[in-house]
Structure formats: structure tokens, C-alpha cells
Copies of this chain bind each other. A is one copy, B any other.
Amino acid sequence: MTVNAERFLEDLHRLRSFGAAGVGKGVVRPAYSEADIAARRWLAGRMEEAGLHVRFDPVGNLFGLAEGPSLLMGSHSDSQPEGGWLDGALGVIAALEVARSSERPVSVVSFQDEEGRFGVTTGSAIWSGHLPLSEADGLTDHAGESFASARAAMADLAGDFVDPSQFTGFVEMHIEQGPTLDTEGEQIGVVSDIVGIRDMKVTFEGQQNHAGTTPMHLRRDAFQALGEFNTRLGERFRNVVTPRTVWTIGHVRLHPNASSIVPGRARFSMQWRDGDTTRLARMEEIIRATAQEVAEARGMKLGFGPLLGLEPVAMDPALRAALERGAEAVAPGRWRRMPSGALHDATNVSRLMPVAMLFVPSIGGISHDFAEDTDEEDLVAGLQVLEHAVRALG
């Protein structure tokens, strides 16, 4: 029995009817919204029809369990507040299609709140033991609602947490959410690792002054310090980074942020990502040393906020090899190994079992946007790679 591409696409389009935005194929289906809960009820029904045993856990993670030991596949069915139809949904529906067509035991999962209404990959973080439920219950969304209150909306469905020891591994298919595959005209990305992240707020504090009466040579302008730091950092990183390393200054706040006042303070975010822990640490040294030099040369106070970090996660070699063989069979010469620059539920699940991930292209690299899309041909190619891999693993 082979996967049914038509049924797979039909279910994928059906899922997007829950919370359909009415703009392109976009969806509005944040975790615990009415649309999200309705979608999960529908998914549970489809799982049952596929012969899977349905279980909701206390936070709304939805499992469709095969008998005995099984391979777990899936992703998440909640969306960003203004999200695309494939982010998460693709991995869940592909898993469902593989589970109902495969002779090997495959279980399906749709994790809850991957998009972080309350945190970061909340549902899988709790299931994997990374985030204690009691701590999660105190988290609040932007509107001030608590996680405890939000998950109560699904209390009638909730059972116990699902025992992870029944799963032999986890495979998550996802859209790339970046431009690489689309730019290169490739169909499949087999993920080598999920990159690690470091994130830190940095503050330069100089002297707020009148922008008319303060000569340039007497200024201690915090924005100019940030500018010099940014330029030097780019130069110094050159000998350290790979083409896959990224770093971003995405948030900047000047004080008092007025056109006639020399900025006295610049607070900004410094975020960097790479698959190699050693490189992440080397970059941190360079960031700290460069900021220190700039601060000293300009008579500035320098402050570093806490360093937030997530370690890189390497994909399991056996699962990854199976996906690579599948990719070569389905899309010969049109696939690549690549890191995932974004976080996924697989990061959390890797604490419990071997994991692997598969990407299909995002048109224009667009995601977290109603305009997010992928050619149906590529969606089906991804499904077929999963099918190949499951057969090979059997």
C-alpha cells in the first residue's frame, strides 16, 4: 500500500478551513483558540478512522497511537496569529497519511502551541520534561491570559501524558521557512542539525547631550558606539563563521530617541545561530571583546544582559540516512543536506528519542505570513520521501 497524494492534499486543505483567514491560503489558528481546538477534534477523528488510538494529554498535545512500539511522526497544528497553511500542518497531515498507508506501525502527533503563544514550542517542551507543567501554568500570553486558563478550554479532552518509551524515534516534516531550497530549485532538504541559538541584550551608555551644542569630539554617542560595534563585528566574524552561520541585530532602542538629542543609551539585541557549540562560544567571545573595546575607546559604560541559549541538536544518523536515501529516490540530484535555522518540536523531542527532519521549499522563503506557500508537487515529494524512509526503517 502506498501513500495517497490526493487524500493527503485534500486533508491538508481541509485542515486550513479551520481558522481560514480569507486572505490567500492563510490561517488564524493560534493555540487553544476555537479554531485550533476544532481542528484538533477533526484530526482526532481522522486518526481514529486510520485505526490509531487517540490520546490528548493535559496540555492538548494530540497523539494517534499505533499498537506496540512505533515510529512517531508529526509536527503541530496551531498557527501564528497570522500564519500560513503549511507551517506545522504539513508535518501532521503527512504523518497521518503515512500512518494510514504504511504496513509499519507509525504513530502521529500534533504538538500544542509550537508557535509560542505562551513560550517557545510549549507543548513539546512540557512533554519532553524541559518545561515543568507547574512553571508553564504561570506563563501568560500578550493579552495576559495564563497558560493554565487557556489549556482548561481543552480539559474535557485531556488524558494523561503519553509514555514516550513506546516510540523508536521521531521524524518531522516541515516547510523550510527560508529561501535556500526555493532559490536553488531543489525539492527536499534533509536536516543535518537544528542550529543552536545564543541571544543577549547589550547596552552602551554614554552621555545624552544637546545635538546642537555638543561638538563631535566631545560626544559619547551611544548610537555611534553601536554602529562601530556592528561594523567591527562583521569584520571579525569573517574568519570564524561558515556560510550557514547567521547573526542579527533585530531590536534597537535608543534613549531618548529624539532627533535633536545625542543618544545617551543604546540597548540592542545580539542573536547568533550555528550548528557548532564551539563556534557559538567563539562568537560570544568576539562579541564581548568587540563591545568592550568600543566601550573603552569611547568612554562608555557597557552592559550585557543574561545569555539565553539553546544547544544545537544533531539529527540521528540512522533516521537521517533513511531520509537521504528516500530523497535520492524521489528527487534525484534535487535535494541537499542542510541545517535548520529555525527551532522545531524535534528540538524538544530529541531529549527523549532519536529525531530527524525533512524540509520542502517555501516559495520566496516566506513564512509566518498569510502568503506562505509550497508547490503541491513539492508537498507530495516530501510525503513520498517519508514513505520511502519508513519502509527502509522497517
Chain A residues packing against B (C-beta within 8 Å): 176-180, 183, 195, 197, 199, 209-218, 221, 223-224, 227-228, 230-231, 243-254, 257-263, 269, 271, 273, 340-343, 365, 367-368
In angstroms, how far is the closest chain B Cβ from the Cβ of A374?
14
List the B side residues contacting A258 at CB < 8 Å: 250-251, 269
Give the residue of B212, B228, B248, B254 whose beta carbon is less than 8 angstroms from that of A211.
Answer: B248
* Given A223-B252, A252-B252, A257-B251, also A246-B211 (CB < 8 A): yes
List the B side residues contacting A212 at CB < 8 Å: 178, 195, 197, 246, 273, 340-343
Contact A231 B223 (CB under 8 A): no
* Given A215-B244, A217-B243, A259-B269, also A223-B210 (CB < 8 A): no
Give the residue of B199, B224, B246 whose beta carbon is less than 8 angstroms from that of A216.
Answer: B246
- How many copies altogether? 2
Closest 9 pairs between A and B when the two form their complex, measured CB to CB: A178-B213, A259-B269, A212-B341, A211-B248, A213-B341, A227-B230, A212-B342, A177-B213, A250-B259
Q: Can you list 19 contacts pairing A with B, beta carbon distance less than 8 Å?
A: A177-B210, A178-B209, A178-B213, A179-B214, A210-B342, A211-B246, A212-B246, A212-B342, A215-B246, A216-B246, A217-B243, A223-B230, A223-B249, A223-B252, A231-B231, A248-B259, A250-B257, A250-B258, A250-B263
Q: How far is the CA of A121 from the CA of B183 in the complex (A)?
A: 56
* Given A217-B243, A246-B211, A249-B223, also A259-B199 (CB < 8 A): yes
Q: How far is the CA of A245 from the CA of B214 in the complex (A)?
A: 10
- Nearest B residue (CB) for A223: B249
Q: How far is the CA of A197 from the CA of B178 in the complex (A)?
A: 44
Contact B341 A214 (CB under 8 A): yes
List the B side residues contacting A223 at CB < 8 Å: 230, 249-250, 252
List the B side residues contacting A262 at CB < 8 Å: 248, 250
